[in-house]
Amino acid sequence: MKKIMIYGKGGHGKVVEDTIYQINQAIEVAYFDDTSNPYRADYEPEAKVIIGIGNNEVRQRISTEVKHAFDTVIHPTAYVSPSAEIGEGTVVLANAVVQANAKVGKHCIINANVTIDHDAIIEDFVCTYPASYVAGFARVTALQTLKPGQVVWKSEVF
């Protein structure tokens, strides 16, 4: 049985767990957090990890400390173009759309109802809140957070 470990047991971790179960209810999920169950590199060495923490800087720090391989989680109601690229550790949530030739970096959160349009670039450790929109050819630089409903136009680098 496939096992995925979520690092972080707060709100985003719960959403990641729900997304994993929407993909396959037979996947076993375990949690790590810094208080009740600290991360151990020797625990389930074949399992993959998703960092279930919304804070971009904390996600970045943890990604350098984790020794396990990272998984990528895409909700079954999300649409990701076959020509799009999604980096390791990234989560694409319900009803998100990632269009043709878009590039999404490592450990990003593409939240519910977000659209990343064609040829857009989302660098590493970005968090997009629900209903944000990144236009074709736009770029969102590393560690940025898009607010709910925020629009980044193609002429902008955010």
The catalytic site residues sit at: 118
Distance CA 52, CA 59 (A): 8
**Per-residue DSSP letter, 10:** S
Distance CA 158, CA 3 (A): 36
Distance CA 78, CA 67 (A): 29
Query: How far from 86 is each of 29, 62, 64, 95, CA to CA, in Å?
Result: 22, 19, 19, 16
